[in-house]
């Protein structure tokens, strides 16, 4: 990036020779013979910032690097950030080797390590003379050349105005447009026909330069080499830039401001270097009015995104300055600072150029404008890199803070204040805040706070210690927090008092559901990392505090959810305690059952498949249940306490609702008796099942309809009862199992207490599977597999899957066994079932305004025999047929089902005949009436 002094530029008049060569005629021929046969190897950073840095299409046309493959070139294009950094490093490393390299033929070597490109368009018929320099035609490949030029003072190839004392650096590609056919020299955007000086410039003459350090600008080169590893602050970087351009342009004062965007996306200027930083402004020029004028000029440049060069600001109608102010700001040069994407990131202004000859104020020239613009282009690129680095660093810090806050939130906390304190202590080291206060609003008075959580940070070297201080609300100033509570917006402010800065951020904590402000987080007094001074909180601190506010809102919801859960858990425990008290049988009932002599199975007829509990006294139903457990040797095998067994049986009986016509305790006893009869009649079943499986089946049959409400699962789901919300599917069956589990865990009813932990888990699993199997929907899904299994000649029951299937089918066979009972019993039970179904149909009509299905529609009561026949054919008969195929001792179930089908079919035919007779009688009566007429 060369920066040439105006004294080093000679006006290139026609007839001048090539720099560094004799004006002899042989020079022209040496240039004419110079042909580029290979792609040039780039050796300087001048190429890097020239228009040769182009997209892939341009790169493929202008190959660089000897022997470079197209795939490598394409890769470099796709990784421009790496390529850029690579050439910066290569240029820096090569700068020390340039002096040892031999110059190209016919060209003197320059002291600079930059390559300058010159191209000259001429017609093919135009003769070449010594007054013109022609490196190559547009059809030839480009070859880099290093050229040193001198120009007399006062000549500017950019404009006819008198030159200042300095010349520009290479233009930034985003500011100028170039033709793809003609590379432009990084020296400046001069025209293609550059007049040559008649004097020759030798290498020794290049020691005088714009920045006073030769052809290259050391400030730029040092900045580019160290941009990615810049360790200072942005303010220090901007201070050095302003110092350099101020000295370069001999300005009395310079100022630099960077663009800052607010939460609404509006761009504002934040002063980084004030105009008095150079120390050259007189006291009159540093007044408030002059400073406001400078700010106005910078604001115009920010709005227009274009440079502004004012010869006399007092003549500019856009800026009004009082006439009596003296001395005055006259010449102002202000240019925008842009990043690589052309976005304005800052504005720099220089004030009152001083002439080196007489010290008077002079105007800034076009050359000064270009010099300043080129320097700011480099500064913009470096600022962009630094800001990107700083942004990534801050995002890494933010991610660490978020992870730590999430870890704090994931742990169990019993106090909301402790949780907020830990989360606030997490971000304090990241923001370097001295104090963190969380204000909790008053529930009754929303414009005040009820309590505060106050934390203080004490830095101990590289670490910091967080303390929680107990403070009353009156001890802390809540004015800023109240302002945030009212506006519900983040407040970031800083104020200076007696040389110290008080910085503060307030952020509202919202409830995600109600959007109400539930707390206010406040950070105060940010300590600088580089010094023991206060500084203002920046945007990253705001984001961290806003993140804390979000997590505090989540923490509040979490704590509230935990509190609600604990309250509901306590409520459930109280409810269970009340339920256990009322469902448990009285001590007198337990003692009576415990002391009574239980009749035998034969006298109770519980071994008979045609057992009927109709007319059986209630105390005998519980004794019959005890007898089943005794005859199956379950009490002895599992060491069941006899009193616990009596209490458990009585409690299960109390768990059924007496107002339900069919699904009550009598149905539970009938189901258990059918399972008992099958087990006792079939030795093969007791050989297939283990003792634990038989135990689980007997418990499941007695509990399979606990707390039945007399309605089906479909009604519970349609009415959106809590059971449906709790379980989702098989709601009643899941409820039956959970209540069964509750009774088994109830004190005094723990008949599973003699089992090992493993057997206990296995038994509960089998009980649950057996109870859920009584859902007819589950039966319809699994029966096809069972029917296929029964058709096999030999079945191996060693598989747990097949035994589970068999247990499920036997549960359904026991549950539906009412259809196998003797006809009087079957007819009585059918009327009870119809009563329960019709009651549900009436509810559906009233509540849902729908027509119930046929079996629940009271209007179809006369069709009960037809519906019973359909029920037997579709549900019952296939099951009992399959069971009898496996175990012929269960044939009484199949035979009873067949007999009842015949009876129901006979009733259906009688109803049909009666219907036909009624129709015939109505027809005859109608015919007779017609004859009378």
Catalytic residues: 663
The DSSP-derived string for 815-876 is HTGGGGS-HHHHHHHHHHHHHHHHHHHHHHHHHH--PPPGGG-GGGGGGHHHHHHHHIIIII
Q: How many C-beta atoms surround the C-beta of residue 187 within 10 A?
A: 25
The DSSP-derived string for 885-907 is HH-GGGHHHHHHHHHHHHHHHHH
Residue among 456, 524, 540 at smallest CA distance from 484: 524
Query: Coil, helix or strand for 557?
Result: helix
- Strand ranges in 278-431 using DSSP code E only, listed in sequence order: 308-310, 332-338, 344-354, 361-362
Distances (CA, A) of 294 to 63, 241, 274, 346, 354: 48, 18, 10, 14, 18
The per-residue b/e assignment along 63-90, b for 16 or more CB within 10 angstroms, e otherwise, is bbeeeeeeeebeebbeeeeebbeebbee
Q: Tell me the C-alpha distance between 564 and 567, whole Å.
A: 5
DSSP alpha helix (H) spans, 597-654: 601-604, 618-631, 634-637, 642-654
For residue 190, report the phi and psi dihedrals to the nearest 5 degrees: -75, 165
Which long-range contacts (C-beta less than 8 Å, at least 24 apart) are formed by 36-39?
A: 36/136, 36/140, 36/141, 36/142, 36/143, 37/141, 38/66, 38/141, 39/63, 39/64, 39/65, 39/66, 39/68, 39/141
Paired tokens of 198 = 């008649």
Q: Tell me the C-alpha distance between 521 and 535, whole Å.
A: 19
Q: Tell me the C-alpha distance between 540 and 521, whole Å.
A: 15
Residue among 911, 905, 907 at smallest CA distance from 871: 905
Q: Are 543 and 709 in contact (CB under 8 A)?
A: no
Does residue 327 have a cis peptide bond before it, meaning omega lies within 30 degrees of 0?
A: yes
Q: Tell me the C-alpha distance between 157 and 6, whole Å.
A: 10
Q: Are 505 and 522 in contact (CB under 8 A)?
A: yes
Which long-range contacts (C-beta less than 8 Å, at least 24 apart) are formed by 92-97?
A: 92/221, 92/225, 94/43, 94/44, 95/221
For residue 59, report the phi and psi dihedrals to the nearest 5 degrees: -65, -35
How many C-alpha atoms does 42 have within 13 Å on its Cβ side? 24
Residue among 722, 703, 769, 702 at smallest CA distance from 572: 722
């Amino acid at each position: 990036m060369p920066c040439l002094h105006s004294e080093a530029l000679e006006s290139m008049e026609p007839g001048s020779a090539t720099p560094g060569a004799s004006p002899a005629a042989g020079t022209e021929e040496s240039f004419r013979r110079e042909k580029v046969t290979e792609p040039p190897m780039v050796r300087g950073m001048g190429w890097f910032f020239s228009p040769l840095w182009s997209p892939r299409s341009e790169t493929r046309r202008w190959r660089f690097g000897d022997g470079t493959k197209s795939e490598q070139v394409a890769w470099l294009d796709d990784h421009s950030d790496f390529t850029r950094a690579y050439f910066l490093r290569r240029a820096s490393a090569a700068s020390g080797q340039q002096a040892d390299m031999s110059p190209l033929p016919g060209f003197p070597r320059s002291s600079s390590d930059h390559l300058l490109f010159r191209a000259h368009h001429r017609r093919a018929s135009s003769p070449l003379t010594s007054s013109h320099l022609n490196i190559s035609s547009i059809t030839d490949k480009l070859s880099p050349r290093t050229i040193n030029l001198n120009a007399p003072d006062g000549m500017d190839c950019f404009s006819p105005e008198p030159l200042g004392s300095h010349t520009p650096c290479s233009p930034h590609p985003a500011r100028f447009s170039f033709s793809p056919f003609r590379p432009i020299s990084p020296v400046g955007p001069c025209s293609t026909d550059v007049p040559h000086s008649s004097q020759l410039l030798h290498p020794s003459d290049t020691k005088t330069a714009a920045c006073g350090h030769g052809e290259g600008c050391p400030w730029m080169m040092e900045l580019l080499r160290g941009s990615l590893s810049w360790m200072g602050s942005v303010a220090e970087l901007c201070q050095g830039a302003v110092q350099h351009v101020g000295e370069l342009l001999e300005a009395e004062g310079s100022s630099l401001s960077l663009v800052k965007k607010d939460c609404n996306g509006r761009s504002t200027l934040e002063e980084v270097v004030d105009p008095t930083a150079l120390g050259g402004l007189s006291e009159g020029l540093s007044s408030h009015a002059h400073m406001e004028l400078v700010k106005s000029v910078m604001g115009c440049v920010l709005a227009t995104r274009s440079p502004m060069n004012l010869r006399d600001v007092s003549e500019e109608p856009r800026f009004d300055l009082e006439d009596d102010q003296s001395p005055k700001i006259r010449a102002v040069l202000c240019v925008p600072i842009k990043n690589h994407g052309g976005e304005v990131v800052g504005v720099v202004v220089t004030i009152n150029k001083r002439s080196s000859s007489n010290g008077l104020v002079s105007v800034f020239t076009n050359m000064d404008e270009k010099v300043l613009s080129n320097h700011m282009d480099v500064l913009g690129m470096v600022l962009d890199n630094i800001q990107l680095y700083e942004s990534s660093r801050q995002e890494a810090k933010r991610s660490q803070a978020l992870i730590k806050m999430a870890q704090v939130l994931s742990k169990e906390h019993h106090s909301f204040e402790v949780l907020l304190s830990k989360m606030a202590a997490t971000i304090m080291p990241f923001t370097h805040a001295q104090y963190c206060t969380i204000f909790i609003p008053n529930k009754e008075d929303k414009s005040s706070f009820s309590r505060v959580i106050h934390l203080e940070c004490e830095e101990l070297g590289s670490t910091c210690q967080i303390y929680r201080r107990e403070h009353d609300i009156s001890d802390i100033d809540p004015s800023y927090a109240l302002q945030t509570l009212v506006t519900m917006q983040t407040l970031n402010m800083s104020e200076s008092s007696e040389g110290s800065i008080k910085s503060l951020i307030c952020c509202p904590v919202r409830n995600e559901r109600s959007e109400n402000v539930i707390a206010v987080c406040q950070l105060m007094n940010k300590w600088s990392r580089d010094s023991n001074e206060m500084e203002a909180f920046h945007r990253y601190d705001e984001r961290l505090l806003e993140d804390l506010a979000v997590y505090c809102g989540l923490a509040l919801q979490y704590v509230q959810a935990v509190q609600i859960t604990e309250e509901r858990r306590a409520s459930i425990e109280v409810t269970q305690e009340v339920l256990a008290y009322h469902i448990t049988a009285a001590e007198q009932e337990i003692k009576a059952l415990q002391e009574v002599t239980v009749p035998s199975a034969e006298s109770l007829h519980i071994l008979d498949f045609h057992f009927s509990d109709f007319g059986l006294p209630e105390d005998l139903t519980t004794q019959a249940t005890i007898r089943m457990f005794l005859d199956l040797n379950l009490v002895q095998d599992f060491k069941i306490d006899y009193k616990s067994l009596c209490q458990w049986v009585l409690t299960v009986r109390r768990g059924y609702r007496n107002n339900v016509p069919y699904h009550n305790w009598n149905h539970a006893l009938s189901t258990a008796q059918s399972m008992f009869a099958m087990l006792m009649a079939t030795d093969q079943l007791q050989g297939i099942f283990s003792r634990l499986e038989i135990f689980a089946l007997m418990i499941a049959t007695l509990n399979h309809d606990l707390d039945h409400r007399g309605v089906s699962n479909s009604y519970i789901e349609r009415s959106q009862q809590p059971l449906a919300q709790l379980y989702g599917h098989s709601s009643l069956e899941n409820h039956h199992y959970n209540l069964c589990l509750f009774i088994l865990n109830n004190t005094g009813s723990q008949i599973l207490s003699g089992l090992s932990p493993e057997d206990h888990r296995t038994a509960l699993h089998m009980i649950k599977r057996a109870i859920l199997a009584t859902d007819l929907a589950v039966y319809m899904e699994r029966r096809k597999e069972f029917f296929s299994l029964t058709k096999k000649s030999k079945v191996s029951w060693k598989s747990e899957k097949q035994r589970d299937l068999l247990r499920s089918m036997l549960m359904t066979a026991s549950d539906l066994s009412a259809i196998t009972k003797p006809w009087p019993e079957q007819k009585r039970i059918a009327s009870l079932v119809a009563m329960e179904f019709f009651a549900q149909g009436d509810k559906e009509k009233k509540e849902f305004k729908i027509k119930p299905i046929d079996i629940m529609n009271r209007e179809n009561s006369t069709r009960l025999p037809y519906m019973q026949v359909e029920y037997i054919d579709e549900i019952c008969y296939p099951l009992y047929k399959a069971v009898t195929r496996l175990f012929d001792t269960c044939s009484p179930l199949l035979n009873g089902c067949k007999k009842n089908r015949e009876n129901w079919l006979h009733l259906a035919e009688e109803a049909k005949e009666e219907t036909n007779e009624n129709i015939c009688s109505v027809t005859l009566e109608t015919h007779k009436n017609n004859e009378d007429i």
